[in-house]
């Protein structure tokens, strides 16, 4: 899957960037535990699966 960045550049989708962003946001509110990290990883996987199921060819970010 590819995404269109704000500057118009087309790039391969990197699920780890989503995970890192969610992790960074969670750190501002919660103490990160292994369980929380696993839950966030599952949420990231779900988002990726939902995007793939929606057959989005090029999402914009």
CA 7 vs. chain centroid, Å, equals 19
What was the pLDDT predicted at 14?
92
Q: For residue 41, what pLDDT is reported?
A: 94
Beta carbons within 8 Å of 41's beta carbon, 6+ residues apart: 19
Q: What is the pLDDT of residues 14-55, one digit of tens each?
A: 999 989 999 999 999 999 999 999 999 999 999 888 888 887
The full set of domain ranges for the chain reads 2-60
pLDDT at site 1? 80
Confidence (pLDDT) at 61? 60
Alpha helix (H) ranges present in the chain? 15-27, 34-53
């Amino acid at each position: 899957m590819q995404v269109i960045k704000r500057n118009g550049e087309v790039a391969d989708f990197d699920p780890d960037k989503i995970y890192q962003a969610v992790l960074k946001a969670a750190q501002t509110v919660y103490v990160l535990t292994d369980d929380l990290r696993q839950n966030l990883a599952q949420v990231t996987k779900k988002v990726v699966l939902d995007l793939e199921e929606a057959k989005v060819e090029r999402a914009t970010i």
